[in-house]
Structure 1
Amino acid sequence: MAEKKAPAEYDEKQIQTLDPLEHIRKRPGMYIGRLGNGSNQNDGIYVLLKEVLDNCIDEFIMNHGNKIDLKIDTEAGTFYTRDYGRGIPLGAVVDCVSKMNTGGKYDGNAFEFSVGLNGVGTKAVNALSAHFRVKSFRDGKFKEACFEEGVLVSENDGKTDEENGTEVEFSPSREIFPKYKIDLGFIDRRMWGYAYLNRGLSLYLNGQKFYSRNGLRDFIEKEINDEKLYDIIYHRDDRLEFGFCHTGNYGENYYSYVNGQYTNDGGTHQQAFREGILKGVNDYAGKNFDGSDVRDGLFGAVAVKVKEPIFESQTKNKLGNTEIRSEVVNKVKAFVTDFLHKNKNVADRLLEKVTLNEKMRKNITDLKKLAKDKQKKVSFKIPKLRDCKHHLNDKSTLGEESMIFITEGDSATGSMISCRDVLTQALFPLRGKPKNSHNMKREFVYKNEELYFMMKAINIEDSLDDLRYAKVIIATDADQDGLHIRNLLLTYFLTFFEGLVTNGHLYILETPIYRVRNKKETVYCYDEEEKDEAVAKLGRGHEITRFKGLGEISPNEFGQFIGEDMRIIQVNIEKMSDIPHVLDFFMGSNTGDRKQFIMDNLA
């Protein structure tokens, strides 16, 4: 047995002071969240791009420039942006992109409404880029500065005929992001988001134009399309924009924004929006409808402008400003009441939906009671759930890292029990294949014990407000049965808990298919290409193991696949109106069409 290495002496030599940009490179997660490899829309390379684009958007918000150019070379891994705003003051170009806590957004004079108030964004991009170039054009003059791995290597200035504005070009560092690939699909959706939130702004991605004339109304129209039950209720003023409509789906679905920043976990503006809708409907109807009856099936979007937004983290996914609540509630309530009085056809359809929701809720009340009584008889705890200590609704820091793995039976769970992080990782094993939820009514969840307990474990019965885990991760085998179970679970969540998916909480775990090793080294491979690379690397004398299921991976091995290097794929929805059609095709009764599709497309 090897001797345990003695810990280093703790003295003055162990105390370090890092340059701010060195600190960003040493602890990038503090500034940009996850690193990733580009396979997730929240991966670091897209955060870097967002930080640069946000500065361009801020210029438009302040009425300077109505065009933004974005060019991306996916092969070289480079990003180029050009806005036509005021341009960074020439004497401050270097400081603005390299000195922490330096910027023009602190006093609110030059930038009244902005997301980046901490003077960090562009500095983080610079520090985490192999190559970073900034060029400001201002009143016939320019200033250019080039950096490599965060270090200034050259400066240049002179006269120019270019329009005012700022140009930024950068390539994420391969030291920080060793194997990243750029997915233009993620960026395409982000460009549409900018367009909807900034009507009248023209954005170009490699020549493709993104433009919205009607703001969030266009967004809602595109998302739900023929699913809407009545005309979209829409309002816009200088500080507040919102729209909503009911669909035939279950649950609530919201997209909320602050100063152009998407807040996928909502916050005070989203809560106030929901409350305002309820109060407006009740005021018009002269009744006291339950909140769930008014909001079930609702699809809404709200955007606010706040002078000093307070976010719960650097990644800005939840707004904390409480002072805006009453203003948003009152504005939404007043507009909804007035709109319904002026549009009787819309009002009648809306109340028809609310009344139907009320009837359905009362119909399943007895089923809820039976299900809860059954749970009490089994145990006060949810059967099979191996919970973690911290949860998202605890409001703790570790709660934001919490996750639950939905596994395929006890075999896979057994490999994960001993290697999971008991503080943040919970396990919920399935007993065989869940039933197909497609075209089922809400009563189905309460009649099916396993799906009921899954809902209770995640805590999404009534809304996402008390969601217990930041990530819900489907962990099934990569064989035919495992993929079928994955599809059944996706159908369950998309049918009854759509918001869990659209708010970015549902993921799929990737685990290795092959293990290639020799006497000196072991390489885990997630696809055929990685296996071929590993075989070439290890040369003669290697052996290949094909994992047929998660249960075949030993606990000692499994730990690394759900640890820091865990690979997960976020389940994303391109367009809400596509969901019913996709579910009909893949999970409906059209067996013949589906079989032919598989035969035609099978590689």
Structure 2
Amino acid sequence: MAELSVNYSEDSIRSLDWKEHIRLRPGMYIGKLGDGSAYDDGIYVLLKEIVDNSIDEFVMGAGKTIDISVYDHKIYVRDYGRGIPLGKVIDCVSKINTGGKYDSKAFQKSVGLNGVGTKAVNALSSTFTVQSYRDGKSKKAEFTKGELIGDNPEIETTQRNGTSIHFVPDDTIFRNFRFIPEFVENMIWNYVFLNAGLTINFNNQKYFSEKGLHDLLIRNTDAETNRYPIIHLKGEDIEIAMTHGQQYGEEYYSFVNGQHTTQGGTHQQAFREAVVKTIREFYKKEFDASDIRASIVAAISIRVQEPVFESQTKTKLGSLNVGPDGPTVRTFINDFVKKELDDYLHKHPDVADGLLKRILQSERERKDIAGIKKLANERAKKASLHNRKLRDCKWHLDDEKQPEENRKKTTLFITEGDSASGSITKARDVNTQGVFSLKGKPLNSFGLTKKVVYENEEFNLLQHALNIEDGLDGLRYNNIVIATDADVDGMHIRLLLLTFFLQFFPDLVKTGHVYILQTPLFRVRNKKETIYCYSDEERVLAINKLGNKPEITRFKGLGEISPNEFEGFIGEDMRLDPVILSSDVKIKNLLEYYMGKNTPERQKHIVQNLRIEKDEADIIAKAEADAEAETLVVA
């Protein structure tokens, strides 16, 4: 036998310390890294890990206020709880499996029971400072990338009890990251909805909820289109709020021990089943489950001991039992809904009448399109065998056999025309990136019924490619990326696609799956270097950097970008703009304004915001002049 060329001995075995392991494998602790363009990117997980500890203090009755600020890349969190015991401040943020949550009597129903969260934040931050205020004394410690650099002695203080933490995520790990305020704001709102009576001051703005999940639905629904007043039910370790609107699909906000389980889990599925069962029994009629749940908007929050999640980022509950000796989650939720919802409907006949009318309307709508739906699905099934519109990838979001990291990367690019789809198809990652090619501008679906989704072949094929006909449970791609030219026609196509999603599948947008692809507008290069620019400002800086009149190319469409170049724009550093639906904007009003009849308000908006672009040569000449002027100023 040939001798092995690699010497395998005791010296080959290496043990990493806690911070090295976290920095080497951050995905094990915080999920995907990202750049902040998705609500579940790592920088938001870091913030959440810190705030969770402050929330646990509030739950234990210590401190009713939390101060949070996020400016540029710096994060500050201050609570007014009991404060970390001064002798354990350093250990609590730098020693794995050290914390105050292992004693179930103190923190019976906390999310962060593994003692890792704050340590992960410490290890993944370029600077991390913790200070505890306790009984008139204070202790401060400073770290960089998990390494202790400042162990300050205890000092006297007049500050109220509590803990403050400052940190800056390490930009060598979270490259080109930025915090999107709307994502942080949604996180803050969820905290106050789940902890009625808690006040959070975020960037000097106050967030507070008096009625918990009832307020959550008030914020996320349109009272004018709700078919009946919000049903709000509370019990020990469980809270539920629900109503039915006019939108298509089902919309759920589910939580476990304060953790937003964006991917649902056993508790959300149990609630869906319990609602169907209870309503059938109340009306004594075997309604179709889809008719009962159509247009539902609901929130459920439960607290359980020792929850088991399906990932480190805790976005899907896997627990089967409420506690070590308690009932199953399904039984617990079913028993609560069966009694409380049934009692509520008996006591509020107006709500029961509104709910029944919504169910009967859904039943009529389903039967109206049953025939065309069957034909459309048969056509889609045949087309899927040789669908020229879809160039699929190998891995999908709903493939349980794939690790979560691979499933999170799955992306469908929706492109206009064959030239653009051709470039992306040649440059894409065939494992995680699929391409759906539009033949032109899609139909304006505003004001149309869901029948159009089946009558319009392109919409029907897109619906089947995404697998969202019956909700998001079977969604095949985590990221739906609209990739159109940055011209008037491209913008119009974006608007038409967003209208389609918001009209028929609003939860796809609300749950953060839809993005706009940023592609470079200019290429500035000389013989030594090439710089791709995404704006006029970046182009000016590139001209200034390269100097001596570099070659400038203006990309007029995606089809003009070669596959070799495109590969860099849809890889790890892909620039995506998330489509964020602000909670204070109602979908119906939004679509009416932009896609309805040409109202005086819209005409006024267009006139006030109209820009007349100059000839491209003039623009480039101006950029060169600006760059030259900047050079003179610097000199």
- Asked if 1:104 is matched to 2:109, the reply is no
**Matching residue's letter, 1:457:** A
Of residues 107, 119, 123, the one that matches 1:123 is: 119
Give the whole-Å Cα distance in 2 for the aligned partners of 1:564 and 1:129. Answer: 21
CA contact (8 A) 2:39 2:512 kept: no
- Asked if 1:94 is matched to 2:90, the reply is yes
Bigger drift between 522-531 and 40-49 goes to: 40-49
Give the whole-Å Cα distance in 2 for the aligned partners of 1:572 and 1:184. Answer: 11
Of residues 308, 330, 340, the one that matches 1:325 is: 330
Count of residues in correspondence between the two structures: 594
In structure 1, what is the equivalent of residue 163 of structure 2? 166
- Taking structure 2 as the reference length, the TM-score comes to 0.89
SS at match of 1:227: coil
Give the whole-Å Cα distance in 2 for the aligned partners of 1:71 and 1:465. Answer: 35
1:357-376 matched pairs, under 5 angstroms: 357-376=362-381
CA contact (8 A) 1:265 1:503 kept: no
Give the whole-Å Cα distance in 1 for the aligned partners of 2:189 and 2:310. Answer: 25
Give the whole-Å Cα distance in 1 for the aligned partners of 2:451 and 2:394. Answer: 31
1:220-369 matched pairs, under 5 angstroms: 220-224=217-221, 225-323=223-321, 324-369=329-374
> Structure 1 residues 325 and 201 mapped into 2: Cα distance closer, same or farther (>3 Å)?
same
Give the whole-Å Cα distance in 1 for the aligned partners of 2:450 and 2:180. Answer: 36
1:132: Cα distance to partner?
1.2
CA contact (8 A) 1:383 1:453 kept: no
- Asked if 1:389 is matched to 2:394, the reply is yes
1:315: Cα distance to partner?
1.8
In structure 2, what is the equivalent of residue 54 of structure 1? 52
1:135-174 matched pairs, under 5 angstroms: 135-155=131-151, 156-174=153-171
Give the whole-Å Cα distance in 2 for the aligned partners of 1:48 and 1:375. Answer: 43
**Matching residue's letter, 1:109:** K
Give the whole-Å Cα distance in 2 for the aligned partners of 1:264 and 1:101. Answer: 27
1:15: Cα distance to partner?
6.2
1:149: Cα distance to partner?
2.7
In the alignment, structure 2 segments of 5+ residues that lack a partner are 322-328, 612-635
**Matching residue's letter, 2:358:** K
**Matching residue's letter, 1:289:** F
> Structure 1 residues 377 and 25 mapped into 2: Cα distance closer, same or farther (>3 Å)?
closer
1:432: Cα distance to partner?
0.5
> Structure 1 residues 543 and 164 mapped into 2: Cα distance closer, same or farther (>3 Å)?
same
Give the whole-Å Cα distance in 1 for the aligned partners of 2:384 and 2:213. Answer: 47
> Structure 1 residues 382 and 355 mapped into 2: Cα distance closer, same or farther (>3 Å)?
farther
1:26: Cα distance to partner?
3.0
Bigger drift between 571-580 and 469-478 goes to: 571-580
1:377: Cα distance to partner?
5.2
CA contact (8 A) 1:382 1:457 kept: no
1:295: Cα distance to partner?
0.9
Give the whole-Å Cα distance in 2 for the aligned partners of 1:540 and 1:15. Answer: 54
> Structure 1 residues 382 and 278 mapped into 2: Cα distance closer, same or farther (>3 Å)?
farther
Q: Cα RMSD between the aligned structures? A: 2.0
In the alignment, structure 1 segments of 5+ residues that lack a partner are 1-7
1:601: Cα distance to partner?
2.1
> Structure 1 residues 102 and 212 mapped into 2: Cα distance closer, same or farther (>3 Å)?
same
- Taking structure 1 as the reference length, the TM-score comes to 0.94
**Matching residue's letter, 2:371:** D
> Structure 1 residues 538 and 333 mapped into 2: Cα distance closer, same or farther (>3 Å)?
farther
Identity of aligned residues (%): 52
1:82: Cα distance to partner?
1.3
1:159: Cα distance to partner?
3.3
In structure 1, what is the equivalent of residue 579 of structure 2? 571
* 1:486-514 CA distance string (max 9 Å, x none): 11111101111111111222222111111
Give the whole-Å Cα distance in 2 for the aligned partners of 1:140 and 1:463. Answer: 54
> Structure 1 residues 40 and 275 mapped into 2: Cα distance closer, same or farther (>3 Å)?
same
1:542-557 matched pairs, under 5 angstroms: 542-557=550-565
SS at match of 1:394: coil
In structure 1, what is the equivalent of residue 479 of structure 2? 471
SS at match of 1:418: helix
SS at match of 2:427: coil
Bigger drift between 193-202 and 530-539 goes to: 530-539
In structure 2, what is the equivalent of residue 416 of structure 1? 424
CA contact (8 A) 1:516 1:525 kept: yes
Give the whole-Å Cα distance in 1 for the aligned partners of 2:576 and 2:280. Answer: 43
CA contact (8 A) 1:61 1:113 kept: no
